[in-house]
Amino acid sequence: MDTVITNWKKNFFTIWTGQAISQFSSSVLQFAIVWYLTDHTGSAMVLTAAMMMGFLPQGVLGPFIGVFIDRYNRKRIMIISDLLISAASFVMVIAGWMGRLSTELILVVLLARSVGSAFHNPCLQAVTPQIVPEGQLTRCAGYSQALESVSQILSPVVAAVLYSSWSLSGIISLDVIGALIAVITLGITQIPELPQEGRDRKVQVLREAKEGFQILRAKKGMLGLVLIGSLYTLALMPISALFPLMTMSYFNGNSTSASIVEVVFSVGLLFGSLILSKWGGTRNRVYTIVGSFLLMSFSLFVSGILPPDGFYVFTLCSWLMGVSGPFYWGMYTPLLQSNFEAKYLGRVLSLSSSIRLLSGPLGLVVSGIYAERYGVEKWFLIAGVLVLVASLLCVAVPSVRICDEARIWKKL
């Protein structure tokens, strides 16, 4: 374990490189699939179904998947997950070559890929503190956020170029290659095994999943932080879906204007990620989260009260929204990683992810009804208020406010 921590930069950046390639190819494929379904079906229901297939398994299965992440070799779980994702994608490649790429098959493959991601993502988060020193977790989260930001900026451009000149099967093939590269980088990386005690017992999924919830609840302030995060997700998940409508309907823009807003938001994400990776955040990471919430709340609130000729101010607010994001996500995950033992992290991270993911659909439904009735700009206003409430809860609930202080005193 000490050798692994000593070589943490080599181990982390080896995995990070493979994940960067895989994430970028998956993001390109995601855009291509959305455009393909739009071209071939023109159905909002199909696009909604595709979105649900993409994240529902991760939300529903998360608490139970965490049991296996804590039980078995995490390196193997990630490799098997990546192989499942690439195999599912390869089915689409073959179907495309045979001229039998149906909408139903695409939805089934998206479901299979989501199941693979439900194992892979929390497993990767659980492995990170095993190979990275605690003091570097926030910076590493900043690197990961920067990667995601670059992917958001470049992937739609690359997807547009490839989609206009390649078949969907060709784009899927690139994603298969990306997943295989991720498998190779995982294979050559040294990841320590978890302690063996208790792992020879028969797996009791329900009992051990319940134990994961009890562990999360027992750690002072952590369940509160997760629930506050679900409120944040409920408010924010609809915003990405409403960005184009806000730009084109309320501000009377066009597709170019909508693209500019998306790019400006992603550039803000990258800027915030780079600052976080360099700075590392406040000593008590909850205070950085509060600052992130306040900046996000301000940007949303201003966006919600702008007149229809306020597009340029909205663009600036979109940049500020992007800047604020990494200072929440880049603190939230390391907070969980450093407050729980490695043997519990699979269940804790999967459960917290499920709670947040399942709040997203509720936000999408409520925001859709509300925006339809009162106007899309009003949801930005409501979202700003909800995020402000989340920031106040972080300060007002003592157990949440001090949940990171035990780590600080331990260092002193």
pTM over 0.85: no
- Predicted confidence at residue 195, as pLDDT, reads 67
Q: CB within 8 A of 397, min separation 6: which ones?
A: 221, 224
Nearest-angstrom CA–CA distance, 204 and 311:
55
Q: pLDDT tens for residues 105-123?
A: 999 998 998 888 888 888 8
CA neighbor of 179 nearest in space, from 117, 100, 263, 251: 117
- Predicted confidence at residue 210, as pLDDT, reads 87
Q: CB within 8 A of 332, min separation 6: which ones?
A: 225, 229, 289
b/e string for 304-340 if b means 16 or more Cβ within 10 A? bebeeebbeebbbbbbbbbbbbbbbbbbbbbbbbbbb
Rg of the chain, C-alpha, whole Å: 21
Output the average pLDDT for the chain.
85
Q: pLDDT tens for residues 59-87?
A: 888 888 888 888 888 899 999 999 999 99
CA neighbor of 309 nearest in space, from 253, 258, 264: 253
DSSP 193: P
Nearest-angstrom CA–CA distance, 289 and 328:
5
Model confidence at 191: pLDDT above 50 = yes
What is the H or E stretch that residue 27 is in?
helix 8-41
- The answer to whether 291 and 327 have CB atoms below 8 angstroms apart is yes
Instruction: Give me the residue label for tokens 């501000």.
Output: 251
Distances (CA, A) of 249 to 243, 284, 300, 322: 10, 42, 17, 22
Nearest-angstrom CA–CA distance, 392 and 52:
31
Nearest-angstrom CA–CA distance, 69 and 346:
5
| Average pLDDT rounded to a whole number, residues 161-183 | 89
Is the torsion defined by CA of 194, 196, 200, 205 positive or negative? negative
Instruction: Give me the residue label for tokens 């990070």.
Output: 16
Between 357 and 287, residue with greater pLDDT: 287
| Average pLDDT rounded to a whole number, residues 234-258 | 83
Model confidence at 259: pLDDT above 80 = no
Alpha carbons within 13 A on the beta-carbon side of 39: 10
User: Confidence class of residue 409 from pLDDT cuts 50, 70 and 90?
Assistant: very low
User: Confidence class of residue 230 from pLDDT cuts 50, 70 and 90?
Assistant: very high
CA neighbor of 82 nearest in space, from 168, 23, 37: 23
Q: pLDDT tens for residues 327-345?
A: 998 888 888 888 888 888 8
- Predicted confidence at residue 4, as pLDDT, reads 52
Across 153-167, 302-316, 370-384, least confident range: 153-167
In a 3-state reduction of DSSP, which class is residue 282?
coil
In a 3-state reduction of DSSP, which class is residue 130?
helix
Distances (CA, A) of 349 to 128, 230, 328: 12, 13, 16
Between 120 and 391, residue with greater pLDDT: 391
Model confidence at 408: pLDDT above 90 = no
User: Confidence class of residue 229 from pLDDT cuts 50, 70 and 90?
Assistant: very high
CA neighbor of 117 nearest in space, from 361, 335, 350: 350
Model confidence at 288: pLDDT above 50 = yes
List the helix and strand counts (H, then E) for the chain: 16, 0
User: Confidence class of residue 200 from pLDDT cuts 50, 70 and 90?
Assistant: low
- Predicted confidence at residue 197, as pLDDT, reads 58
- Predicted confidence at residue 412, as pLDDT, reads 40
- Predicted confidence at residue 315, as pLDDT, reads 95
CA neighbor of 33 nearest in space, from 194, 182, 156: 156
- Predicted confidence at residue 293, as pLDDT, reads 96
Nearest-angstrom CA–CA distance, 230 and 214:
18
What value, to the nearest 5°, has the Cα angle with vertex 221 and ends 215 and 226? Answer: 80
DSSP 202: P
Q: Which domains does the chain have, with CATH numbers?
A: 2-189 (1.20.1250.20), 210-411 (1.20.1250.20)
- Predicted confidence at residue 227, as pLDDT, reads 93
DSSP 166: S
